[in-house]
Amino acid sequence: MRIIVTDRMTGKTYKMMMWLAADKNRVGVVHSEAERDRLYHLYEGTIKKGQLITLSGIKAGALRGRHLDGIAVDNLDLMLSDLFDRQRVSMITMTGQAET
């Protein structure tokens, strides 16, 4: 698993979108429907519909029955904040290859 940790506005989402564009059988998970729609508009023609989903979409079964080549998660910090009722997550540990 690749882990990209950099400041805001440094190209993390762009890297994810290019990764998605390279294989139409990959999906990206974003924190909100508004962000999903914004990215579809911004990258129109680069990725296909259904390649961006939200956590609520996953809970509703958006991944059921799909056999994917990979999943990317954009802005995990925002999703964790939502998961913990907007409380600040102070530390995360995980295994993977960090990129800066």
DSSP string, 4-63: E---TTSSHHHHHHHHHHT-TTEEEEES-HHHHHHHHHHTBTTB-TTSEEEHHHHHTTTT
Position 97 scores a pLDDT of 86
Strand 26-30 and strand 97-99: the pairing is: unpaired
Closest to 45 (Cα-Cα) out of 20, 69, 28: 20
**pLDDT at residue 12 above 90?**
yes
Where is pLDDT greater, at 5 or 30?
30
pLDDT band per the 50, 70, 90 thresholds, residue 74: very high
Position 19 scores a pLDDT of 97
Residues sharing a CB contact under 8 Å with residue 74, sequence separation 6 or more, in sequence order: 12, 13, 16, 28, 29, 30, 31, 35
- 16-66 pLDDT, tens digit each: 999 999 999 999 999 999 999 999 999 999 999 999 999 899 999 999 999
Domain parsing of the chain, residue ranges: 2-99
**pLDDT at residue 100 above 80?**
no
Position 32 scores a pLDDT of 94
Could you tell me if 23 and 72 are in contact, meaning their C-beta atoms sit under 8 angstroms apart?
no
Position 94 scores a pLDDT of 86
